[in-house]
Structure formats: C-alpha cells, structure tokens
Structure 1
Amino acid sequence: MDTADVIVIGGGTGGYSTALRAAALGLEVVLVERDKIGGTCLHRGCIPSKAMLHAAELVDGIAEARERWGVKATLDTVDWPALVATRDDIVTRNHRGVEAHLAHAGVRVVRASARLTGPRTVRVEDVRADQVDDGVHALTARRGIVLATGSRPRTLPGLVPDGRRVVTSDDALFAPGLPESVLVLGGGAIGVEYASFHRSMGAEVTLVEAADRIVPLEDADVSRHLTRGLKKRGVEVRAGARFLDAEVLDDGVRARVRTARGETLEVEAERLLVAVGRAPVTEGLDLGAAGLSTDARGFVVPADWARLETAVPGIHVVGDLLPPPSLGLAHASFAEGLLVAETLAGLPSAPVDYAAVPRVTYSSPQTASVGLGEAEARARGHEVAVNVMPLTAVAKGMVHGRGGMVKVVAEAGGGRVLGVHLVGPQVSEMVAESQLIVGWDAEPADVARHVHPHPTLSEAVGEAFLTLAGRGLHQQ
C-alpha cells in the first residue's frame, strides 16, 4: 500500500492547484485523474470557449470597421477547421504546461479512477496499465484527502444530448461546423456566452431563460444593459420563458417554449444548446465508505468553511463539489486549492472571501461584477448609496461606442463599497481593481484619491467613485 502526505482526487483547476501548492510546501502529493489534467475549464470550458469568443470579437471588429469607421472591409468566410486548430493549439499548450509544472513540482500523477475506502484510504482502478501494478492500487494519505472531481452539465427532462443537434456546454464547441440558427436554453453566463459567439458567427440566435431576466444572479442593471446589448446585435432574448418540449428533426430541432405572457412559442433551429447549469460529480467516489454523504443537490458540504474540511477530519473539498457560497468558477477553485494545501501543511490561511471573487461573462458586451448587487445589499439590511456611470460619459467609451456602465453600491454616508458592476467592452480586464476595492473594504473616498489614466474605460470607474465621494468631475 503506497502512502503520501496528500491524495488529490481530480485534476481540474481546484485539484491541480491544491497539488502544486502542497508540493511547494514540501508535502508528498499523489494526484489521481481519470481524464486529462486541467479538467473541464481547460479542455471543454474556460479556455477553448474564450479562444472562440476572441475569434468572434475579431469577426465583430470587421463589421464595426466597415459600418462605423469607414474601413471598407468585408468578411469572406470563416475557415472553421483553421479556427478549431488554433483553439486546440492553445488548449494543448496550456495542458502541456500544467503537466510539466506538476512534474517539476514532484507531484505524482496517476491516470486512473479513484474511490474512497476509508477516511484516509483510496482504491485506484487504473486507466493506463503502466501507472500502477495489476491495474489496481491502494493509497493511504498521511495528512488528508482532497475531493476535486468537478461537475458535468445539467440537462432538462426530455432532452437527450447527441453532440450534434442537441448539445451541452461541454460538447458545443466540438459539434460539427457552424450552425445557421441556434436555440440556447439558459441565460446564465454560459448560455449568454454561447449565444453571443454564435451571433457573431452569423447564426440566428434565440436565448431562453426561465427567470425574469438573463444573468439573474447579477445586479438588475447588469441584466438590463446586457439584454439591451444582445438585442441590439440581433439576439432574440426571451426571459421569463420556460422550455416545454422538443423534437429532433432531420435538419434541426423544433422546440416549444411558454413565454412570459403565457403564450406557446414554437422555435425551430439547426442546433439546441442546453446551458441550464452544472451538477457535481460524485458517482464512483463511494463517499459512504469514508463516512461522507452529499446534500439534496449532490454537493459535498464542508463542516468547516474556513478550512473547507468535511465532517470527516482530513477530507477536504474544492471546486464544483462545493455548494454556494462557492461560485463554481476556476479562479475561486484556485483560491480554494491554495487554502486547503496550506491547511494540510499546518500553515495559517485566510478563508476564501467569496463576496470578493469577481464574476465575468465574456459575451459582447461583457459583464464583470464583484460583491453585492443593489437589491441584495438592501435585502441584507444595508442603507446604500448607488451611482451609475455610463461608459459613454467618458471619451474612451465614446470611441468604443458600445454603451455600458459602471455601477457602484456602497454603504450610505461614505461607508465601505459593497459591490461594483461593469458592462461594456473588455470590462473583464477592468474588474481586478474593483476586486481589491471590495476585498479591502475600501470607501469611495479611498478610491477617489487615486488618479485613473485618461482616456481609458477604467476612467469611468474612477469618475463613479469621485461622484460618490462628493468630488464629481464629468458626471452630472
């Protein structure tokens, strides 16, 4: 029976970050992964989808150049195989980099499935026969086990993904070719991103969300601005609508949707994309053998959130297995991995402040938020001061010409900043400042003392805080 200080089950962002940090702290680490190191984010989610969205941004730029700037450029065609090859090259290079990093750190990677046999023991059923003897191996953790098995896409009753006509977010990027029309079920970040991508590539897109607005977990003004931007680009947005059923045809899908007004709408599309959330993966882990269980939603709930430790001492959880307030985001998983590794090494480590973790939707327009929305802040009993600064109120926003906003929610009377919400071009690159503002409990006056560069989009952030601090300049 092999022993190691730490056994990590799952090699996605949460798992490999735990392994890397633990190894850097001098712990002996075994990382068990049955598929590819990097998990959903690297191979089916964050990285390939953002590569495709960058290509979509380039396509949109050609139209803007022609229609707004007098640059008489036209789009000949999209070479889909070439686009896919570039995307896959980016993924492959990232994958190799992570594997090399693990090897250099001294992490032993076992490509296998794993199941718990006790609070400190794991049975490994080998995927590659050269990894462990006889295809089966037993491992014992001296300090602890980390569960990081990730999530899979949810679907809806009556919808069976086939990878061609009905697809999930995991396989949408790998479906053949570019469809001429797409029905997207789910108006969260994933659904909005795919709706935006396909619209940029020329498809007719219908986006259906059961809640009364898209990105329903964000501030209402974020939803409003994003909806306006998508509709301006030609996306048909149906909020407050519910999927009824669908029929797969020879050349597409016919679906029925109940609209917010109670009408039944029939939508035909070449492809139907299901983006209604993700479910934690625990099948095969045999949690009961270690004295663990999941909650009603399938999550493994920590008994101690400050250490992300379960009710069984020494077993920790990171990533998509965690329920809210964890966010199911790769960068949150990195923070969780660092916390757990340092805890297992016996070091003090601050708990993850989920309120200060940024949330980004990489559509066109983009959204980026950190902290509380206005309604959420009021619901928690805060008296708030709110300021909304249009991006078009600063010169660089006029240059971009795509609208957008900066919204700041702060405690009334000059108190701490509770949330910052951005909509517009490239706001994903602007939110880091806001993360520090919220994370460090800054007040508007603190931010207003610092000078933002002119002309930039970030200048709108500075102006929004100047106004809240009573030193408004360009904002009326």
Structure 2
Amino acid sequence: MAESAAGPVDLVILGGGSGGYAAALRAAELGLSVVLVEKDKLGGTCLHRGCIPTKALLHSAEIVDNIHESETFGILSTFNGIDMTKVNQYKDGVIGGLFKGLTGLIKARGIEVVAGEGKLVSPTAVAVDGRVIEGRHVILATGSYSRSLPGLELDHERVITSEDALGLDRVPSSVVVLGGGVIGCEFASVWRSYGADVTIVEALPHLVPLEDESSSKLLERGFRRRGIKFKLKTRFAGVKTTDHGVTVSLEDGSTLDAELLLVAVGRGPVSEGLGYDEVGVAMERGFVLVDRNLRTNIPTISAIGDLRPGLQLAHVGFGEGIFVAEQLAGLNPVPIDYDNVPRVTYCSPEVASVGLTEAVAKERFGADAVTKVTYNLAGNGKSQILKTSGAVTVIALKGQDGPVVGVHMVGDRVGELIAEAQLITNWEAVPNDVAQLIHPHPTMSEALGEAHLALAGKPLHLHD
C-alpha cells in the first residue's frame, strides 16, 4: 500500500529546473509549504545541460578568438591549442558552484526536496517511489528534451544532441549542424572558434528564423566572415555513419561528409508516462495547455516552462514560476507579456531582441503604421574599439506618441544591452522619451540612444 504524507502541503512541484525551483523559492518566501520533486539534479537542463555549460564553452571560444586576433590590438601572443579536459573542468566548475548555491538556497528556505521520478496520480497528488505527496496545488515543470526528426536515429557518438556535444573530450575536425536556430548557431560558433569546419543545414530561409529578418541577415554575414558555412532552404534527407564519421544527404541531392552530425532541431516537452493523460490534463502534441494565468484545464494544476507551448527560455521559466507562486499566495501578479520577453543567441556575433519583429508589427498594426531606424555599429566608438560590427534596429509605430514595439541587435556583447531595450518596449516608451536619456560615452549602450535619437528626428552619428 502506498505511503501517504501526513497531510497536504500547499504546493507540490514536479520538476526542479528553472521554472520549478523558481516557483519553490518564491512560494516558500511567501510562507507556503513546498515539496519539490526532482529525478536528477536541481537546476534542470539550463544549469546542467543547457544555458550555463554552453555559455561557458562560448566564453572559452571567445578567448580563443581573442588570442588569434590579439596582434590587431598590438599584443603578440602564441596559440598552443585547446585542452578540452581543462575546458570541461572550467565548465563543470561553473556548474558546480551554481549548483551548490542553489541547493543552499533551497535548504535555507525550508523546501523539502524529494529525489525520484514523480508521477501525477490525481489533481492534487504526485507519487514518488511509493510515497504519495498531497498538495493543495500542483505545478508541472518537467521541462523538455532534445528532439530528433522522424527516422533520424541518434547514436550519441556520431549523430549527437547538444547534451552529447557538451561532454565531448575533443574538438571535432568537422561538424554538420542540423538546425540553424539558437542551439545550432551557438555550437557552430564554438566549434568554428576551436578550429572545426562547420556547416549548418536549415530548412527555413534564414538562420535564427524567429528573429527579425535584418538580424538574421547580419548574423549570416558575420558567419560568412568567420568561415561558418550554411545551406538555407535545404531539408535533411538521411545520414549514414562511416568509419570516419557521417555522410549527410540533403533533399537537394547534395551530400556533406563530417566527423559529427549535431541534431539541433528544437526541444520537445517531457510529458509522456508522467500521468498527465490519466489525470485528464489537456495536452497538444505533448505540450500541456494553459490559460494566461498558467492554469491547466484542471483548476488545481498549473504548468510552466518548456512543458507548455511557447518560448522555451530559462528566464521565462523563472518568471512563470514566480507568477504562479504569487498567485497561490493570494497576490495579484501581472500575467507575463510574452511579446516583450528578451531573447539572446550567444554566438559570435551575438543576436539580441525584444518585442515584435518588423514583419509581425506590420501584420498586427498595418504596414503604413510602422517605422524603423537601423543604427550601424560602425558609428559607435566602443564597437570600433572592440572591433565588432553589427547594428541596432528599433521598430516603432508612427506618430509623435507612437511607442517602440521592437528592438533588434546584432554584435558582440549586445546581449548585455537587452535589459534597457526591454524596459523601453515594456513601458511603451516613445522614441523622444528615450532620446532625452544621456548614455555614457564611449559605450555600446549609446547605440540604443542613437537609434532613438534618429527615430525622434534628431540623428547624431547615424550611418546609412
């Protein structure tokens, strides 16, 4: 007979990734009793197999690039190669430090963590290894996994996922990257910096296809300069493993030979076999459906993070976890505005954006209602010092009171500028409001100010 907890807690959370642990921390802070169920390690994909380790590799790749380019800055240096054992030690050290800090926070706030694979068994209960944990509310936060394509088998040696790529003990000589989205572009960037021959295959017309077309084109230009090859509007047909690697067949009849094939075609929800169907949770293609308050069709169950349809970003999970916790504590939080969630692709050059693309803005408001300005980083002093190129594009509605509805940036380190851009779009600032703000000189943040100066009709260092 299953063992039951002494009494219901306020909140049971199934999954200890970004969304789940954020919900747990905020709920405990607000005085709710919380049980957090996690089958692996707290922190989930982002901390252990996603955001953090990939950005550590990208930073090491940036150092490689800096060494190669150091003579440009008057610094003579010698590059002696890459020690992947030490790179991985650095990466794992970052993960370990953050994991230790997270577990300390969870413990300090009195959150009970139950290790094991949980399963939803009723609208208010999760079972773990024979124990049934009752809660007044349940949050589903079981995250996502690396998808493949129908008929494309992963052997995790020659045909690999991003998780496999993070554990490589060598720099591959050549890689075909299937998928030109965020994950594909980030790994392509790392491997090219490390010296690999890289080709991206993308079925859609542009890399990072969810971004504004202007950003995609600038990224493609930057990748060409770096020697990263890509085939757009090209579909995958098949792959054969060989003694030396893989031969990838494409629908246009061409083939590509490489040491590895990285499959980066997106992430699917982890929902199968977890009791969601049996309890009656509404789903579509494996994703759990929710309303604007992140409630499922069952009032006592919410779903957050990669499990529900929409943006699959760790910081979205953080925001959703906090939102649901505050709701359950009786507060009245503002629902998340997904249009104005910042997005960053951390390749070189970086791509950062918030708000609407030009195409979506025109579709929503009408082509005649939309205006934009693109500020080339060639006019920005700090960008010239850093030897980076790119642009800032600001999209607004026409008229003196027309708000800014989108900001799109390409260039090294532009991800650090996106927080200001988020304030601009979220607060519906008009260009003249931002144009009055004085940005420090010389900084890359001036590029945002310059673009808004131009939209306000008083351009300063604008280059066509």
SS at match of 1:214: coil
From 163, 176, 179, the equivalent of 1:183 is 176
From 355, 378, 397, the equivalent of 1:411 is 397
Contact 1:164 1:176 in 2 (8 A): no
Paired position in structure 2 for 1:138? 132
Distance 1:176 1:253 in 2: 19
Contact 2:202 2:233 in 1 (8 A): yes
Deviations 1:426-453 (A, max 9, x none): 0011111000000111110110110011
Query: Deviation of residue 19 (structure 1)?
Result: 0.4
Distance 1:292 1:203 in 2: 45
Distance 1:74 1:252 in 2: 31
Residue 10 of structure 2 corresponds to residue 5 of structure 1: yes
Equivalent residues in 2 for 1:145-164 (5 A)? 145-164=138-157
Distance 1:167 1:466 in 2: 47
Query: Deviation of residue 252 (structure 1)?
Result: 0.6
Distance 2:157 2:75 in 1: 37
In structure 2, list runs of 5 or more residues that go unmatched.
none
Query: Deviation of residue 113 (structure 1)?
Result: 1.1
From 464, 467, 470, the equivalent of 2:451 is 464
From 227, 231, 236, the equivalent of 2:220 is 227
The size of the alignment, in residue pairs, is: 455
Contact 1:290 1:312 in 2 (8 A): no
Distance 1:460 1:175 in 2: 38
Paired position in structure 1 for 2:289? 301
Query: Deviation of residue 288 (structure 1)?
Result: 2.9
Query: Deviation of residue 356 (structure 1)?
Result: 1.2
Contact 1:392 1:401 in 2 (8 A): no
Paired position in structure 2 for 1:88? 92
Distance 1:72 1:204 in 2: 26
Residue 74 of structure 2 corresponds to residue 74 of structure 1: no
Distance 2:312 2:213 in 1: 21
Query: Deviation of residue 265 (structure 1)?
Result: 1.5
Equivalent residues in 2 for 1:51-450 (5 A)? 51-66=56-71, 68-125=72-129, 136-142=130-136, 144-258=137-251, 263-295=252-284, 297-302=285-290, 304-305=291-292, 307-324=293-310, 327-382=311-366, 383-414=369-400, 415-450=402-437
Contact 1:183 1:205 in 2 (8 A): yes
Distance 1:458 1:397 in 2: 10
Residue 462 of structure 2 corresponds to residue 475 of structure 1: yes
Query: Which shows bigger deviation, 375-384 or 230-239?
Result: 375-384
Query: Deviation of residue 280 (structure 1)?
Result: 0.2
SS at match of 2:316: helix
The TM-score normalised by the length of structure 1 is 0.94
Letter in 2 for 1:432: A
Deviations 1:224-249 (A, max 9, x none): 00000011000001111111100011
Distance 2:36 2:272 in 1: 18
Residue 22 of structure 2 corresponds to residue 17 of structure 1: yes
SS at match of 1:113: coil
SS at match of 1:93: helix
Distance 1:390 1:360 in 2: 19
Distance 2:274 2:192 in 1: 40
Contact 2:326 2:332 in 1 (8 A): yes
Contact 2:438 2:449 in 1 (8 A): yes
Query: Deviation of residue 36 (structure 1)?
Result: 0.8
Contact 1:164 1:175 in 2 (8 A): no
Contact 2:396 2:405 in 1 (8 A): yes
Distance 1:116 1:69 in 2: 58
SS at match of 2:10: strand
Distance 1:365 1:449 in 2: 29
Letter in 2 for 1:209: E
Residue 44 of structure 2 corresponds to residue 50 of structure 1: no
Contact 2:236 2:249 in 1 (8 A): yes
Distance 1:359 1:26 in 2: 32
Distance 1:164 1:177 in 2: 12
Distance 1:123 1:78 in 2: 46
Query: Deviation of residue 351 (structure 1)?
Result: 0.2
Contact 1:385 1:413 in 2 (8 A): no
- Identity across aligned pairs (percent)? 48
Query: Deviation of residue 74 (structure 1)?
Result: 2.2
Distance 1:398 1:269 in 2: 36
Letter in 1 for 2:131: H
Query: Deviation of residue 284 (structure 1)?
Result: 2.2
Letter in 1 for 2:344: V
Query: Which shows bigger deviation, 182-191 or 400-409?
Result: 400-409
Distance 1:300 1:251 in 2: 42
SS at match of 1:21: helix
Query: Deviation of residue 460 (structure 1)?
Result: 1.0
Contact 2:272 2:286 in 1 (8 A): no
Paired position in structure 1 for 2:441? 454
Letter in 2 for 1:336: E
Contact 2:282 2:297 in 1 (8 A): no
Query: Deviation of residue 169 (structure 1)?
Result: 1.3
Distance 1:257 1:438 in 2: 41
